[in-house]
Amino acid sequence: MTDSATADHAAPQRSTRRALLGAGAIGAALALAGSRPAAAGTSGLSENDVALTEFAISLELTARDLYDVAIDAGAGVGIWSTMREQHGAYAQRLAGIAGISATLRDDATYDLLVQRFETSDPSAVAYELENVAAATHTELIGTIEDVNLAAAMASFVSMESRHALVMAALSGEDDFDLLFSNTATPLSPEG
């Protein structure tokens, strides 16, 4: 990620879930991550599948690092370290299938959200992040050609949907529509 990407999407002080999701700020930032040229894969995947996989990996690594921030800010281990490990595992899984490295976090999105994760209880923003991740993988599954990649992403959606429910419950959410439906806007490489 470039410095300009960070500057272009410097974090506005958004404090509500609806504002974040409605503005699609994460999507705009991650669009830049997806716009870089796809690396040549060694797995026989199409160039488009490799590009989408890199995009998905950057989302997972961003989530992993944001949970690290919360842990360092006093959220402690337990469920937060679990969440960190979950997303790290998803990035590694995709990298393994595609034969590419899982190293590039999206700095712009990270910078956008990092302040909200600097807390001992990031459950509200984590709920948003998990919904965005699940929605994004759901969207990618409809585009990706390789069935193994699609199946792997489906297994992430299964768990990220559960993550979102748990995060919502931890944040005190009791609105059934928010608990049981995913209203997040999926991110896309095109923005």
Partner 1 sequence: MTSVPNPSLDRRALLRNSGLVLSFGAIVAACGDDRSGSDAPGRLGVAVAAPALPEAEVDDGVLLRTAQSLEYTALAVYSAAAGLDVLDSGEVALVERFVADHERHAADIGALAAGVGAEEFACPNPFVMDRAVGPILDALEGSDDLHRDVLNIAHAFESWAGASYQALVGSLEDPALRSAAILIGGEEQRHAAALAAAINPDQLVNPEMLGGVDAPDDAGFPVPYAIPATFGQLTGINLVVGARDDEGTRFSIQLQTPAANSLVYDYLSC
As a whole number of angstroms, the distance between CA 188 and CA 191 comes to: 5
Residue 145 in contact with partner 1, rule: CB under 8 A = yes
Q: How far is CA 137 from CA 10, 59, 119, 142, 189, in A?
A: 25, 10, 27, 9, 12
Q: Minimum CB separation from partner 1 for residue 180, in Å?
A: 5
Q: Minimum CB separation from partner 1 for residue 171, in Å?
A: 13
Q: Minimum CB separation from partner 1 for residue 115, in Å?
A: 26
Q: How many CB atoms lie within 10 A of CB 169?
A: 13
In the bound state with partner 1, the residue whose beta carbon lies nearer, of 4 and 181, is 181
Residue found under tokens 């919502």:
168
Give the type of residue at 61: L
Residue 7 in contact with partner 1, rule: CB under 8 A = no
**What mask of x and - would describe binding to partner 1 in positions 70 to 109, judged by CB under 8 A?**
--------xx-xx--xx--x---x----------------
As a whole number of angstroms, the distance between CA 83 and CA 141 comes to: 22
- All residues at 6 or more sequence positions from 82 whose CB lies less than 8 Å from its CB, including other chains: none
- Considering only residues 18, 96, 162, 183, which one is a binding residue for partner 1 as defined by CB under 8 A? 162
| Positions that interact with partner 1 (CB under 8 A) | 78-79, 81-82, 85-86, 89, 93, 134, 137-139, 141-145, 147, 150-166, 169, 176, 179-182
